[in-house]
């Protein structure tokens, strides 16, 4: 079953490696801290402490027996429930005046015989509340126990003297304040009385409560009267309807007819009109309508009707025949008409009375609605008057009490225990200081290691390298050098481990690397391999040489080409001359047989050759492509040692003619930014990256590496081969 790692798991190996990589500065910080603690412990002198106790009272009992104001003077009170009055008094003891008085009285001085400063005095002073009591513990530390005792006694005495003087000053300040406020308070009282009097006179206010009740009663009586009038109005309206039905006239018409009937001219015209109508009726019974007599009577009738209409004018809205009908009625109808008119007049008077009553109610309600406002104003004025009277009376009373309290010896503290010197020194134990220094040194050393780790962006292990890159890890080549004293791995000269130490762990790592490369693409024919790195000194030339050697030992015919024309290394590794090489074959077209050197069985090396002013143009030329194509058939593998990716473009040019690229990375030399930059560069140009090789890995820095278990099976060859085996040189 595989162990599943959770995010909350603590990686102790990671933390151990951090400390391991930065152990030197961490140990230095630890040593400095411990040495400082040791020096402090050795130089620390014995310190004694003297302590005295001061008791505080919440109020001064002697003054409180005489006056109420005396009780307030010197009373210990907090501004809120979270504050402790003893803390305030402790700050008073620490005040500059009390401390300076103590220093002056005892003539205190420091080690340089200079007067002791206020700040230095406070460093040795300690004030502490005793829980559950009103007692303050006053302590002072000094190398001289008698001096500490004198300082505590003098400090408490100076505080008591200051406390009494302060309370007297407080009483004097209260008296001065009252004398200043009395005239202002008296003036405010007079103004409040005048404002209340003016308000009552302006609105004729005697008693707002009685007036409010009276208005409510009057409104109730008016409502009852309105109900009675409305009942009478209903009866009158019913009577009018009854009379109108009997007469056949409305009340308005009868009133209008009465006005018209009083005119003699209208009555004469109506009489004449009636006579003409009678004659016309008589003549129509005798003659036809075309008879001149009838026509004349018709014309006379029309003339009288027009005259009547003109005389009536706007007094009557009905037709003239209505007036004629009214004059033809008997005495009974006229009596009914008179009753109708009288009833209508009475009804109109009742309507006016109801409207008048409603108007009175509205006025009463308006006055009643203002009463709450008047009451509010009166209450405000009365409240101001009461407040002014209370303030004035209180100031008069307090003035007499303050005068008495000012002459009393007011105090709220007393010394209940003079200074007592500690029997043993109270300074920190030297062993404790040293132990604290060791603990602090350990913490600071760990912090130092982590800070350096955060600032250090270098890649330190193959595991970290594998996590940074998405490429397949084909091989992990351990460093054959002894462990360096410094945490950072330095570059060492290239080595031929496969040739010089074939039984070493490094040689076996190369063989494992060759096997992984072979099984990487079993279906593809990978013959030309370009080996590169991100930066110089990562060992790509060493990897190229040992990879070519291990491939040759497997029976493959291998050609190793040194294409690093800027700083070639292969001729140094194989101890060859570099007079003729790749640049000669491509540029001057020398014979290939003169350039290729057979160094071991099946392994040939093509050095870089003479220096070329423009290596990039040489490598990207058609001649280079044709050269690689021409030698593919002669070798099973062609290994090309190329320049670093991030410094030169040569590697990208050579990777185009290769079947794949091997990226070499050396922990301790490369950092995270360089690794990611190389990866982005290869991906940007769609390079076929065969895999990654971690070179020069320090086994001690790889907690998960299998090399720890392989040490017991492999021993480095103490008798390394100092020169290449004799191989008969052949010209290719």
* pLDDT tens for each residue of 317-368: 444 444 445 544 455 666 777 777 788 788 888 888 888 888 887 776 776 7
Output the average pLDDT for the chain: 77
| The pLDDT value given to residue 486 | 46
| The pLDDT value given to residue 509 | 85
- The b/e string for 299-316 (b: 16+ C-beta within 10 A; e otherwise) is ebbeebbeebeebbeeeb
> What is the DSSP secondary structure assignment for residue 529, as one 8-state letter?
E
| The pLDDT value given to residue 728 | 39
| The pLDDT value given to residue 720 | 42
| The pLDDT value given to residue 521 | 65
The burial class, CB within 10 Å (0-12 / 13-18 / 19+), for 526 is middle
pLDDT tier at 262, thresholds 50, 70, 90: low
| The pLDDT value given to residue 79 | 47
> Is it the case that residue 560 has pLDDT exceeding 90?
yes
Mean pLDDT within 177-198:
81
> Is it the case that residue 639 has pLDDT exceeding 90?
yes
Q: Which of 226-235, 476-485, 526-535 has the highest mean pLDDT?
A: 526-535
| The pLDDT value given to residue 488 | 47
Q: Contact 497/550 with Cβ under 8 angstroms?
A: no
What topology does CATH give the domain 12-178+408-421? Bacterial polysaccharide co-polymerase-like (3.30.1890)
Partners of 533 in the β-ladder: 664
User: Which residue bears the tokens 């690794």?
Assistant: 675
pTM above 0.85?
no
pLDDT tier at 56, thresholds 50, 70, 90: confident
Q: Where does the chain hold its CATH 1.10.287 domain(s)?
A: 212-377
> What is the DSSP secondary structure assignment for residue 60, as one 8-state letter?
-
What topology does CATH give the domain 212-377? Helix Hairpins (1.10.287)
pLDDT tier at 711, thresholds 50, 70, 90: low
> What's the half-sphere exposure (Cβ side, CA atoms, 13 Å) at 80?
1
Mean pLDDT within 189-195:
82
Mean pLDDT within 664-675:
86
- Dig out the tokens for 533 from the structure: 């790195």
- Superfamily (CATH H level) for 462-707: P-loop containing nucleotide triphosphate hydrolases (3.40.50.300)
Partners of 411 in the β-ladder: none
* pLDDT tens for each residue of 73-82: 455 555 454 5
Residue 309 to residues 259, 280, 281, 303, 653: CA-CA distances in angstroms?
15, 20, 22, 10, 129
Q: Where does the chain hold its CATH 3.30.1890 domain(s)?
A: 12-178+408-421
> What is the DSSP secondary structure assignment for residue 561, as one 8-state letter?
E
Percent of the chain that is helix, strand, coil (3-state, to 5): 60, 10, 30
CA-to-CA distance for 648 and 10, rounded, in angstroms?
A: 42
Closest by CA to 538, choosing from 511, 569, 507, is 569
Q: 683: Cβ–Cβ under 8 A, 6 or more apart, which residues?
A: none
> What is the DSSP secondary structure assignment for residue 73, as one 8-state letter?
T
Residue ranges in 203-291 assigned as alpha helix (H): 208-247, 251-261, 264-286
Q: Where does the chain hold its CATH 3.40.50.300 domain(s)?
A: 462-707
* pLDDT tens for each residue of 109-156: 887 888 889 998 888 898 888 888 889 899 988 888 888 889 999 888
| The pLDDT value given to residue 529 | 94
Which helix or strand (DSSP H or E) is residue 528 part of? strand 528-533
């Amino acid at each position: 079953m595989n162990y599943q790692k959770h995010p909350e798991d603590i990686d102790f190996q990671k933390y151990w490696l951090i400390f391991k990589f930065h152990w030197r500065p961490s140990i230095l910080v630890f040593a400095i801290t411990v040495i400082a603690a040791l020096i402090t412990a050795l130089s620390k002198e014995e310190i004694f402490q003297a302590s005295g106790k001061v008791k505080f009272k919440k109020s001064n009992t002697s003054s409180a027996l005489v006056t109420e104001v005396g009780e307030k003077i010197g009373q210990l009170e907090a501004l809120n429930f979270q504050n402790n009055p003893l803390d305030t008094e402790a700050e008073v003891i620490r005040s500059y005046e009390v401390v300076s008085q103590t220093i002056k009285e005892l003539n205190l001085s420091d080690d340089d015989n200079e007067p002791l400063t206020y700040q230095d005095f406070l460093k040795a002073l300690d004030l502490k509340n005793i829980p559950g009591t009103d007692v303050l513990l006053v302590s002072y530390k000094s190398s001289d126990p008698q001096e500490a005792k004198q300082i505590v006694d003098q400090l408490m005495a100076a505080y008591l003297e200051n406390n009494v003087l302060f309370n007297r000053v407080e009483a004097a300040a209260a008296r001065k304040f009252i004398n200043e406020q009395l005239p202002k308070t008296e003036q405010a009282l007079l103004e409040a009385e005048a404002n209340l009097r003016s308000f009552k006179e302006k609105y004729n206010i005697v008693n707002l409560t009685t007036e409010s009740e009276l208005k409510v009663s009057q409104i109730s009586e008016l409502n009852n009267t309105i109900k009675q009038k409305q009942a009478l109005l209903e009866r009158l309206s019913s009577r009018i309807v009854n009379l109108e039905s009997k007469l056949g006239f409305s009340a308005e018409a009868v009133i209008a007819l009465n006005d018209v009937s009083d005119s003699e001219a209208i009555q004469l015209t109506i009489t004449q009109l009636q006579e003409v109508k009678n004659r016309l009726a008589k003549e129509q019974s005798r003659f036809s309508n075309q008879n001149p007599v009838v026509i004349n009577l018709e014309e006379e009738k029309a003339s009288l009707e027009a005259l009547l209409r003109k005389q009536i004018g706007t007094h009557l809205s009905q037709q003239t025949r209505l007036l004629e009908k009214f004059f033809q009625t008997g005495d009974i109808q006229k009596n009914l008409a008179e009753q109708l008119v009288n009833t209508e007049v009475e009804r109109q008077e009742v309507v006016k009375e109801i409207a008048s009553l409603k108007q009175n109610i509205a006025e009463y309600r308006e006055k009643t609605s203002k009463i709450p406002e008047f009451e509010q104003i009166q209450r405000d004025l009365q409240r101001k008057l009461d407040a002014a009277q209370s303030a004035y009376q209180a100031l008069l009373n307090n003035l007499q009490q303050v005068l008495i309290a000012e002459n009393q010896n007011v105090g709220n503290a007393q010394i209940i225990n003079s200074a007592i010197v500690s029997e043993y020194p109270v300074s920190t134990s030297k062993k404790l200081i040293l132990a604290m220094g060791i603990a602090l040194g350990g913490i600071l050393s760990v912090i130092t290691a982590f800070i350096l780790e955060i600032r250090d962006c270098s890649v330190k292990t193959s595991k970290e390298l594998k996590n940074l890159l998405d490429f397949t890890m084909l091989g992990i080549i351990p460093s054959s050098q002894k462990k360096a004293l410094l945490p950072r791995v330095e570059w060492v000269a290239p080595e031929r481990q496969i040739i010089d130490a074939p039984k070493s762990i490094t040689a076996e790592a190369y063989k494992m690397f060759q096997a992984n490369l072979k099984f990487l693409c079993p279906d593809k024919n990978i013959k030309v391999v370009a080996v590169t790195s991100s930066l110089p000194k990562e060992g790509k030339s060493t990897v190229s040489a040992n990879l070519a050697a291990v491939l040759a030992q497997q029976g493959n015919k291998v050609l190793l080409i040194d294409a690093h024309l800027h700083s070639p290394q292969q001729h140094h590794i194989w101890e060859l001359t570099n007079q003729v090489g790749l640049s000669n074959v491509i540029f001057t077209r020398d014979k290939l047989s003169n350039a290729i050197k057979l160094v071991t069985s099946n392994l040939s090396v093509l050095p870089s050759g003479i220096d070329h002013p423009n290596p990039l143009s040489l490598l990207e030329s058609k001649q280079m492509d044709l050269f690689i194509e021409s030698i593919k058939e002669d070798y099973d593998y062609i290994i090309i040692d190329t320049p670093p990716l991030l410094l030169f473009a040569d590697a990208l040019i050579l990777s185009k003619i290769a079947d794949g690229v091997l990226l070499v990375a050396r922990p301790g030399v490369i950092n995270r930014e360089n690794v990611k930059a190389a990866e982005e560069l290869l991906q940007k140009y769609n390079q076929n990256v065969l895999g990654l090789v971690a070179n020069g890995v320090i086994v001690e820095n790889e907690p998960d590496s299998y090399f720890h278990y392989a040490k017991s099976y492999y021993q480095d060859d103490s008798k390394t081969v100092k020169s290449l085996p004799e191989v008969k040189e052949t010209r290719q």
